[in-house]
């Protein structure tokens, strides 16, 4: 991968810890980045997608960032929706999983899986 830039997408300590656990459980190299993207779907129109990726995709304008020791790859289109977002992880009574705190979202669905601008 190329040199990492400071990210406008923040990863909380809890989310970073869980990402590291998932990598270890699945045998994924620690240098492998977390790819965050926004796709059409969900009850509010847009949904978040998380995956692991080791490089920029050919023909796609990807940016590579780092926060809390986690490299992050985001395509340019998704980045426009995600700038200023914080990725958190919870395992409490409200459910277990990653949660996006996105200041760009004007509306989210009740399950928190999708949003709109």
Q: How confident is the model at residue 23 (pLDDT cuts 50, 70, 90)?
A: very high
Cβ-count burial of 23 within 10 angstroms (0-12 exposed, 13-18 middle, 19+ buried)? middle
What CATH superfamily is the domain 5-103? HesB-like domain (2.60.300.12)
Q: Between the ranges 12-26, 76-90, 100-114, where is the mean pLDDT highest? A: 12-26
Cα separations in angstroms, 72 against 51, 110, 117: 10, 27, 23
Average pLDDT, the chain: 82
For position 1, what pLDDT does the model report?
46
Rounded to the nearest 10 degrees, how much is the dihedral formed by the CA atoms of 53, 59, 65, 66? 10
What is the spatial distance between Cα 11 and Cα 107, in angstroms, rounded to a whole number?
22
Q: Where are the domains of the chain?
A: 5-103
CA 41 from chain centre, in angstroms, equals 16
CB neighbours of 59 closer than 8 A, spacing ≥ 6? none
DSSP 80: H
Q: In this predicted model, what pLDDT tens digit does every residue of 42-51 receive, in sequence order? A: 665 788 899 9
Q: In this predicted model, what pLDDT tens digit does every residue of 76-104 receive, in sequence order? A: 989 988 989 999 998 877 678 888 888 87
Cα separations in angstroms, 39 against 1, 5, 25, 57: 24, 23, 27, 16
């Amino acid at each position: 991968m190329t040199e990492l830039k400071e990210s406008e997408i923040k990863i909380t300590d809890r989310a970073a810890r869980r990402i590291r656990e998932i990598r270890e459980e699945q045998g994924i190299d620690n240098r492998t980045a977390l790819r965050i993207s926004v796709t059409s779907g969900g009850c509010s129109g847009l949904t978040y997608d998380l995956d692991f990726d080791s490089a920029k995709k050919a023909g796609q304008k990807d940016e590579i960032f780092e926060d809390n020791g986690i490299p992050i790859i985001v395509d340019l289109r998704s980045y426009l929706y995600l700038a200023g977002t914080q990725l958190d992880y919870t395992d409490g009574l409200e459910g277990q999983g990653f949660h996006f705190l996105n200041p760009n979202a004007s509306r989210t669905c009740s399950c928190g899986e999708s949003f709109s601008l």
